Amino acid sequence: MAVRFRSLPLVVLAIFGCDDDLAPRAVDLALGADQACFLGAVDEAVDAGGSLDAGTDAGVDAGMGLEDGGIDDAAVEDAGVDAGAEDAGVDAGPSDPGVTPRPAGIPFCWGAGVPDVTPLEGGLAFTSIALGAFACGTDVTGALYCAGANSRGQLGDGTTTARTEPAVVPGVIALAFDVARFAPASAGFACAITPTGTQCWGANDRGQLGDGATLDRATPSPIAGSTSFVRLALGGAHACGVDAAGALWCWGANDQGQLGDGTLVDRVIPTVVPDLEGVVEVAAGLAHTCARTAAGAVSCWGSSDEGQAGTLVGPVLAPRAIELEGATALTSGARHACAIGADGRPRCWGANESLQTGLGVPVPQTRPVEVSVEATRIAAGRANTCVINRGGSILCWGAASTGLLGASAEADSAFPTRVPGTP
């Protein structure tokens, strides 16, 4: 059954209304530049069996469990947007027989000028989604579907023709994937971890495909080298991957030091980030990068004009410690970043012109701001932050202009507010 998108970027066409009684609990969450989607649980109707665990900005890990209608602490993982300390799963590779499949869900989306939460037409269930000027999602078999802008081949179908209806990326079984959420439609690219290695496609003028060249690819192209990754994160024109040993590799644009190698030189092949060990999660913004270690420490680097690397003096060319401990999850917006602490509360820093860090004064934050809300998953967009709480509800704060705070929101808000029409 086809899923149709009304316009590009992803804006959904509803086939029925969405109210409090209808919306299922959220099991996953993704934010793009100005739109958000959650996956509403359909575990009673959809068999999520299989052996694949796909996640945007996340990777091959222990998956996510559901207990008592909430989200199990032991496994709260999201692509770009995950929570759960010990479930990072760096040791759970693509062939690990212990990998637990993630539950499938129907995408419910809002934003991009459409404040009402609506389900995608067709009812196709996904296990993970990622949003940009184009959008992609995996089904329970690991097949990757994409739709949206395609001027640089970012849909991976061998053409440069935009699609309003999702099509399978040929030959890709995605164990993990991400799209360039903050890249414009004219510069989109995507990468996926597959059973045979990591592949990327789309725009490549800055070496962001990591294949040793700067030629666009309209079909998936293997990255250079033999390193196998378990996690991925894509920025505006750069990408990073975590290997099974906890080392972090980055490639692509480096004009703001976002590759963390101490230079401002673009890299067309993956280059290791020096002096950074035990990485279990990576998050990429427009021109900055952050990493979380197994010990719960977070470091950031790259552009820091709004405090996203913990200082207003930049660019920051190497990992710089952020003043927080015990982080269990990490996400990045375009120019801000957030982590979930051991107490389940988010901490955000960086750009705050729309109150996206959770502080009511619109000035940049170089130190993490604690937000008074329980979070099991977190996602950041261009100027918003959203979380899933234990009951599967969505709460957001930040810019009101994109519709991410709901139809009744007239002003930016630093206060986490349940999005009307979500669980």
Render pLDDT for 16-68 as a digit per residue (tens, 0 to 9). Answer: 233 444 568 898 999 998 899 999 987 533 333 222 222 333 344 322 222 23
Percent of the chain topping pLDDT 90? 69
- In the predicted model, what is the mean pLDDT of residues 379-384? 96
Q: Among 12-26, 175-189, 352-366, where is mean pLDDT lowest?
A: 12-26
Q: Among 66-70, 229-233, 308-312, 396-400, where is mean pLDDT lowest?
A: 66-70
Residue 401 predicted with pLDDT over 60: yes
Instruction: Report the C-alpha gap between 179 and 125 in whole angstroms.
Output: 19
**Of 396 and 94, which is predicted with more confidence?**
396
Report yes or no: 305 and 291 within 8 Å, Cβ to Cβ.
Answer: no
Beta bridge partners of 295: none
- For residue 410, name the pLDDT band (cuts at 50, 70, 90): confident
Q: Which CATH number fits domain 5-418: 3.40.640.10, 2.130.10.30, 1.10.240.10, 3.40.50.720?
A: 2.130.10.30
Instruction: Report the C-alpha gap between 28 and 394 in whole angstroms.
Output: 10
Residue 368 predicted with pLDDT over 70: yes
- In the predicted model, what is the mean pLDDT of residues 331-343? 97
Report yes or no: 37 and 379 within 8 Å, Cβ to Cβ.
Answer: no
**329-332, strands of its sheet edge to edge:** 82-83, 329-332, 336-340, 346-350, 365-370
- The mean of the pLDDT values for the chain is 83
Instruction: Report the C-alpha gap between 132 and 178 in whole angstroms.
Output: 10
| Alpha carbon distance, N-terminus to C-terminus of the chain | 25
Q: What pLDDT does 129 receive?
A: 95
Q: Residue 400: CA atoms inside 13 Å, Cβ hemisphere, count?
A: 12
Percent of the chain topping pLDDT 70? 80
Instruction: Report the C-alpha gap between 204 and 299 in whole angstroms.
Output: 27
Q: Whose CA is closest to 287, among 391, 208, 200, 368?
A: 208
Q: What pLDDT does 346 receive?
A: 98
- With a CB cutoff of 8 Å and minimum separation 6, the contacts of 248 are 240, 241, 242, 260, 272, 273, 276, 279, 282, 291
Structure pTM? 0.84
In the chain, the amino acid numbered 309 is: A
User: Is the Cα torsion angle 306, 308, 312, 317 positive or negative in sign?
Assistant: negative
Q: What pLDDT does 123 receive?
A: 63
Instruction: Report the C-alpha gap between 399 and 35 in whole angstroms.
Output: 11
